[in-house]
C-alpha cells in the first residue's frame, strides 16, 4: 500500500477528495458535526457505521477504508451487496458466525441482560429478514465494540481450536483500545498470529494468540514472527557479529546459526509484544 495512504484517516480524505466533496458536505451527509468528521480524517477517532455506509453508497469499499485491502472502488456486484444487503442464506450464516465469535470475546461484564436477549433475538431473525436485522445487529454490538480495536489475523488457518470449516471466519482479533494507547502502539501496525507448530513449547502452544508489532522488525533480539515457505512461524532471533542465531524453545526442533549473507533472506513480519493464552 502507498505509504501516503497508510492510515484510515488518510484513506478517508483521499476518497472524499476523489469524490469531489468538502469535509462540510460529507459531514452533513452523515449527520455529523464538522469537528466529528475532521477527527476521523485526522485519525483521532475511527469512522462510524454511518460514515462507512455513506462511502459504500458512493462506491467506495468500506474494507479498503478500514485496512487498505483490495481496491478503493467497489465493483458492480459489491455495490449491490452493500446497497441492498441481500445476502445468500449461507453468506448470512457466515456473517452471524463471524460476529458471534467477535461478540463472545468482547462481551462486556455487566452488559444488561435485556440487551443480551435482544442480540440473541437478532441472531434468530437475521436469516429471514436480512436487510433490517443485519443493520440492527450491527447497531446492537457497536457499543461494546467501541472499547476495542480489531487487528488482522495473518494465519487464521493455523488456529487448531476451530473446525476446518470455521478457520476462515476468525480473521480479526480484538484488543482493548486502552492497552494499545497506554503502550504507545499504532493499531494499524499490529497483527495477530496463531502458533503454527510446537516449536516454541512450552512458551507457546496452539490456541495462544500472539500480538506482533510490525515496527519491531528492525530490533536485533527477541521473539519474532517470520515468513518461511509460505507459512508464518515464530522463532527467537539474535543478530550478533558472527551471524544470526535462530532458536526454539522445544528441544525436538533444531537451532540454527546463519551467516550474515544467509540472514538477509530472513523475512521478519513483526516482533511479538504480547501473548494471550487461554490455558
**What is the C-alpha to C-alpha distance for residues 49 and 185, in angstroms, rounded to an integer?**
24
246 CB-near residues (< 8 Å, 6+ apart): 235, 236, 237, 255, 256, 257, 258, 266
Superfamily of domain 3-84: lambda repressor-like DNA-binding domains (1.10.260.40)
C-alpha cell at 53: 455506509
Superfamily of domain 149-279: Umud Fragment, subunit A (2.10.109.10)
pLDDT of residue 68: 77
Tens of pLDDT, residues 219-275 = 989 999 999 878 898 999 998 877 888 999 998 988 888 877 777 778 899 999 999
Tell me the average pLDDT across 136-158: 69
pLDDT of residue 235: 93
pLDDT of residue 166: 44
Report domain extents, the chain: 3-84, 89-146, 149-279
Tell me the average pLDDT across 42-50: 77
pLDDT of residue 22: 94
Q: Provide the β-strand partners of residue 234.
A: 225
Question: pTM, whole model, 2 decimals?
Answer: 0.52
Determine how β-strand 190-193 pairs with β-strand 209-213.
antiparallel
Bond prior to 115 in cis (omega within 30° of 0): no
Residue 44: CB atoms within 10 A of its CB come to: 11
Tens of pLDDT, residues 8-45 = 899 999 999 999 999 999 999 988 888 888 888 988 77
Same-fold call for 3-84 versus 149-279:
no
* 139, 115 Cβ separation under 8 angstroms: no
Determine how β-strand 148-152 pairs with β-strand 172-176.
antiparallel
Sign, CA torsion 132/133/138/143: positive
pLDDT, greater one: 266 or 184? 184
Tens of pLDDT, residues 130-143 = 445 555 555 555 55
- Identify the residue whose cell numbers are 544470526: 244
pLDDT of residue 12: 94
Tell me the average pLDDT across 64-79: 73
* Confidence grade of residue 2 (pLDDT, cut at 50, 70, 90): low
**What is the C-alpha to C-alpha distance for residues 150 and 256, in angstroms, rounded to an integer?**
35
Amino acid at each position: 500500500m502507498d505509504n501516503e495512504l497508510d492510515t484510515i484517516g488518510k484513506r478517508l480524505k483521499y476518497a472524499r477528495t476523489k469524490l469531489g466533496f468538502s469535509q462540510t458536505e460529507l459531514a452533513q451527509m452523515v449527520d455529523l458535526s464538522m469537528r466529528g468528521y475532521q477527527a476521523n480524517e485526522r485519525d483521532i477517532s475511527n469512522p462510524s457505521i454511518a460514515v462507512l455506509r455513506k462511502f459504500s453508497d458512493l462506491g467506495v469499499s468500506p474494507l479498503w477504508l478500514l485496512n487498505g485491502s483490495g481496491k478503493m472502488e467497489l465493483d458492480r456486484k459489491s455495490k449491490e451487496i452493500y446497497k441492498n444487503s441481500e445476502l445468500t442464506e449461507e453468506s448470512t450464516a457466515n456473517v452471524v458466525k463471524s460476529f458471534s465469535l467477535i461478540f463472545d470475546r468482547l462481551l462486556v461484564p455487566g452488559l444488561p441482560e435485556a440487551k443480551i436477549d435482544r442480540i440473541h433475538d437478532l441472531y434468530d431473525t437475521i436469516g429471514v429478514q436480512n436487510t433490517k436485522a443485519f443493520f440492527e445487529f450491527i447497531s446492537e454490538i457497536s457499543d461494546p465494540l467501541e472499547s476495542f480495536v480489531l487487528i488482522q489475523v495473518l494465519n487464521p488457518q493455523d488456529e487448531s481450536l476451530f473446525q476446518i470449516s470455521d478457520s476462515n471466519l476468525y480473521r480479526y482479533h480484538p484488543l482493548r483500545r486502552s492497552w494499545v494507547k497506554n503502550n504507545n502502539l499504532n493499531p494499524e501496525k499490529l497483527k495477530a498470529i496463531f502458533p503454527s507448530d510446537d516449536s516454541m513449547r512450552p512458551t507457546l502452544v496452539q490456541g495462544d494468540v500472539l500480538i506482533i508489532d510490525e515496527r519491531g522488525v528492525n530490533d536485533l533480539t527477541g521473539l519474532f514472527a517470520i515468513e518461511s515457505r509460505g507459512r508464518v512461524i515464530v522463532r527467537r532471533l539474535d543478530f550478533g557479529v558472527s551471524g544470526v542465531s535462530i532458536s526454539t524453545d522445544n528441544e525436538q526442533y533444531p537451532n540454527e546459526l546463519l551467516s550474515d549473507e544467509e540472514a538477509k533472506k530472513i523475512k521478519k513480519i513483526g516482533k511479538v509484544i504480547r501473548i494471550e493464552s487461554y490455558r
